[in-house]
Structure 1
Amino acid sequence: MSDDGQHGLSIIAFVGSVFSPYYALARRVQGGVADPENFCALNVALYGKGAKRWTMTERGRQHIQRSAHHYTIGPSSLHWNGQELTIDIDEINVPWPKRVRGRVTVRPEGLCRFVTALDNDGRHRWGPIAPCSRVQVEMDNPHLSWRGHAYIDSNEGDEPVEKAFWDWDWARAEMANGDTSVVYDVRPKKGPGRVVAQRFSPDGSYTPFEAPARYALPSTAWRIKRAMCSERDVAPELLSTLEDTPFYARSLLKTRLLGEDLTAVHESLDVPRVASWPVRLMLPWKMPRRVW
């Protein structure tokens, strides 16, 4: 999010796109196993007045290159030099074709080694790589420039996401002293629900805290259920819905955690919706695949 609160940006670099209908079809045809490097994408979502964009063009192995410090996906790339992550974006907005081009530079204040399982079998893991960071956004198309607070994390799994989960809510918020609080509220298919609540400091250290009571938020236009925790019997307040899809929602909300009133970036995922055939038939309109 920008420091003035007027702009937002989400970037997800996929190796084996968890939402890909093409990846799901390949696994079905090939007996449950397919090469994840053949289903890669750079998802870019820009928010702000006059600057909303969405890209997620999927590409196969012939269009990518990967190493420990560099990841090329078609004309876009990510590069880590030991101090900062540079993301060069050259994509096309969907469904209405518009160029999305620019550079995003993320400078971590410290790196974090926290990793935890999200399911009860340990087959799906989440770890914030740099939960306290600064971002510089310089876009040519659309033309905009801003700086703000940023966050980098990683998710990985040993099986398709629909095998392990019903749904989850995730939220992160910047604290007054520069720390970042994160709540991951997960409903696995096996065993009890899991709530991971951690406070991360700029030096990479982290401290668990007990997540307060969970409150239901208004459902989205696609009827995606949302929920968030908050202290002192003060229900969270939904500020805006940034992304509203048949299976996923990204929102801004106000809540109270660790004695502070915070503005949080919040995400909700309905996993059975992801795996449903109606949704998978709709997804190519938002997630085209480059085959040449």
Structure 2
Amino acid sequence: MAFIGSVFSPWYRWSGRRDPEDHVCINVATYGPGGRFTMTDRGRPALRQTPDRFTVGPSSLHWDGQTLVIDINEVSAPPVISRVRGQIRLTPSAVTDRELLLTPDGAHVWRPFAPVSDISVALEAPGWQWDGHGYFDANFGTRALEEDFSYWTWGRFPSLGGSTCFYDAQRLDGSSLAHGFHFAPDGAAHAIPLPDRHQFRRSLWAIRRDTRGDPGAQPRQVMNMLDAPFYSRSLVETTLGGEKTVGVHEALDLRRFRSALLKPMLAVRVPRRRNWRF
């Protein structure tokens, strides 16, 4: 993930969120044995932007007209500190024209650029090379997430003829958000009738989790990917239109994230590097 105004950075929160370009980050997470997590909060000197390139210190994203090329050169956070280096190439089958306002005033926007993509990962460590089905989206906002939301879940599931995404959220004003979209390989996006919501086992930090599925579906976690006191990312199996599918699922508890007690804990995993010289 690439951030301008690193929303999960305690340093950005402590700064008063006045200068997003002084809190930029390229976050990388790998999973399974030997998995690493990098999320260095960098200052304005590390940021370079052009119409087709976004650079944060030693790492960058570059659009060559057909492929998003991501060059990674980061250092992972404790407990295992090591270099995470290599290249990721994401090639969309098409780029969509769809975006979703997450609040009525447009203060938060979800933009699924390429929900159906091919991805090639070549990181410099044993087992960190693979090709498969990829995804590319973005979120934009003018207010902190915790100012407007208490909880949300998001899921993206490969399906016949493309991929299906669900976005469910509870806003602090008591209203809710519930949307489902199917994305075809040609970039066509269609809102779909929402399947039922089904709860499944809480995360290791006891975050409640649910996702969409056919009547009687029993979603289950296939792989834990990232577990934090306020956030869960995992591979989840559900059933959509009679088809079993395994996709990426996220649950975010923003009431927990709002706690001041979490910020010093996050600072251990999200170091601050104010200066950079190219």
Give the TM-score normalised by the residue count of structure 2.
0.95
C-alpha distance in structure 1 between counterparts of 2:121 and 2:139, whole Å? 24
Equivalent position of 2:208 in the other structure? 225
1:65 is the counterpart of 2:48: yes
1:142 shift after superposition: 5.0
1:88 is the counterpart of 2:88: no
Equivalent position of 2:9 in the other structure? 20
- Residue identity in the other structure for 1:137: V
Equivalent position of 1:174 in the other structure? 158
1:120–1:188 contact (8 Å) kept in structure 2: no
C-alpha distance in structure 1 between counterparts of 2:179 and 2:249, whole Å? 14
1:210 is the counterpart of 2:197: no
- Residue identity in the other structure for 1:241: N
C-alpha distance in structure 2 between counterparts of 1:242 and 1:144, whole Å? 15
Deviation per residue, 1:64-102 (Å, 9 max, x gap): 101221011110011001100000000001112111000
- The 3-state SS of whatever aligns with 1:127 is strand
1:51 shift after superposition: 3.7
Give the TM-score normalised by the residue count of structure 1.
0.91
Equivalent position of 1:153 in the other structure? 137
C-alpha distance in structure 2 between counterparts of 1:131 and 1:182, whole Å? 8
Deviation per residue, 1:129-163 (Å, 9 max, x gap): 01100001111145632101000001011111111
1:53–1:93 contact (8 Å) kept in structure 2: yes
C-alpha distance in structure 2 between counterparts of 1:143 and 1:99, whole Å? 15
Q: Which has the higher contact order (CA 8 A, sep 6+)?
A: 2
Specify which of 124, 128, 135 is matched with residue 119 of structure 2. 135
1:196 shift after superposition: 1.3
2:44–2:274 contact (8 Å) kept in structure 1: no
Specify which of 140, 149, 170 is matched with residue 165 of structure 1. 149
Specify which of 161, 165, 169 is matched with residue 186 of structure 1. 169
Deviation per residue, 1:208-260 (Å, 9 max, x gap): 11121111121112111111111121221222221110110001111112332
Aligned residue pair count: 274
Equivalent position of 1:290 in the other structure? 273
Alignment of 1:200-279 (within 5 A): 200-279=183-262
Q: Which moved more, 1:134-143 or 1:208-217?
A: 134-143
C-alpha distance in structure 2 between counterparts of 1:119 and 1:51, whole Å? 39
1:99–1:141 contact (8 Å) kept in structure 2: no
- The 3-state SS of whatever aligns with 2:143 is coil
Q: Which runs of 5+ in 2 are unaligned?
A: none
Q: Which runs of 5+ in 1 are unaligned?
A: 1-11, 28-32
CA RMSD in angstroms, aligned pairs only: 1.3
Identity across matched positions, percent: 38
- Residue identity in the other structure for 1:45: A
2:198–2:217 contact (8 Å) kept in structure 1: no
C-alpha distance in structure 2 between counterparts of 1:211 and 1:185, whole Å? 10
2:201–2:220 contact (8 Å) kept in structure 1: no
Q: Which moved more, 1:136-145 or 1:216-225?
A: 136-145
C-alpha distance in structure 2 between counterparts of 1:77 and 1:91, whole Å? 11
C-alpha distance in structure 2 between counterparts of 1:278 and 1:23, whole Å? 15
- Residue identity in the other structure for 1:275: R
1:36 is the counterpart of 2:20: yes
1:265 shift after superposition: 0.8
